Amino acid sequence: MISENYYNMAVFVFVFCIGKRTTTAEPARSAAGPVHPWGPWGGGLCQAAQGATHPSELRKNKKTPLKKEIPMSVNALIGQKNNYLTVIDEDKDSTGRKYVTVKCDCGTEKRIQYGHWRSGKIKSCGCMRLKLLSQAAPESNPIYSHRLHVIWTGMKQRCYNPKSDHYERYGGRGIRVYDEWKNSYESFYEWALAHGYSDNLTIDRIDVDGNYEPDNCRWASGEVQMLNTRRGKQYLWTIDGITKHAREWCKHFGINPQTAIYRVNVKGMDPKVALTTPKYAVKV
């Protein structure tokens, strides 16, 4: 009996406290809406019943600035420019793939895929390719792994590095490199490709006492370059009014160059005689 009384008293105290808490919070909650019978624990359900937006939905619907992008509508792209290309027309192929006709800064018009223009995969008509490559890091730039880069580096070493084995015959004699080539490998690269460069040729100065510059350089075979050296010019022979290198004369008369040169330089023979005299007719 006693335990039952204690139980009834506990229930009464609990109900009294809950009712008092709800009554106290009533004025504060009335402005926000009806109070749920379960007190503060039921507020969320009450709001949901009234159609209030869940906090997670509020976050989803929150307006955030979008990243500015090139418009997706091609019709709106006329006049738009990306890198060096300006859109002047649009069309689609038979499969529905979208294309744009663009005009490069250089004036060239080209038809390319819309996606390639939009993504920047194609930046120009091709005229800016070298410039774009030069902006890349040398280690990732294909033109820096080209044979021409080795030639360009060696050319500057011979002319400006006193520690170079060949400096005495080049820089030591006042031979210099054209300023535009010296300061820009890309400039030298462009000139080389436009003036007969080939992997089996080397750069040759027409005037062996002149500088490395456009008007004095050409791409020549090793044999031609050898004949155009200062040392090679010591073996220029004139026969019947025609001047050629000793090796060319020897090839013409079918004689060993060493034999002919020995006859001229050591035996003192006339070049024509040295070239036309049978091998065993001369006592060595």
Most confident by average pLDDT, 21-30, 106-115, 226-235: 106-115
Where helices occur in 72-211 by DSSP H, the ranges are 114-119, 129-134, 147-160, 179-183, 185-194
Most confident by average pLDDT, 16-25, 156-165, 264-273: 156-165
Give mean pLDDT, residues 136-144. Answer: 66
Give mean pLDDT, residues 14-40. Answer: 53
- Model confidence over 115-131: pLDDT tens digits? 999 998 888 877 776 56
pLDDT score of 75: 60
Measured from the Cβ of residue 2, the count of other Cβ atoms closer than 10 Å reads 6
Give mean pLDDT, residues 100-121. Answer: 87
The overall pTM is greater than 0.75: no
The full length of the chain comes to 284
Average pLDDT value for the chain: 75
Task: Find how far residue 165's CA is from the centre of its chain.
Answer: 33
pLDDT score of 175: 93
239: pLDDT strictly greater than 80: yes
- Model confidence over 171-207: pLDDT tens digits? 999 999 999 999 999 999 999 999 999 988 889 888 8
Give mean pLDDT, residues 84-91. Answer: 88
Q: 49 with 37: CB under 8 angstroms?
A: no
**Residue 51 zone, left/alpha/beta (φ > 0; ψ -120 to 50; rest):** left
> What values do phi and psi take at 85, rounded to 5?
-115, 130
- What residue ranges in 121-258 does DSSP mark as E strands? 202-205, 217-220, 236-239, 242-245
For residue 92, the surrounding DSSP H or E stretch is strand 85-92
The residue ranking higher by pLDDT, 39 or 260, is: 260
- Model confidence over 241-255: pLDDT tens digits? 887 777 788 888 888
Token pair in block for residue 160:
């400006």
Cβ-based neighbours of 36, under 8 Å, separated by 6 or more? 42, 43, 45, 46
User: How do the domains of the chain map onto residue ranges?
Assistant: 2-61, 74-127, 142-227, 232-281
pLDDT score of 197: 92
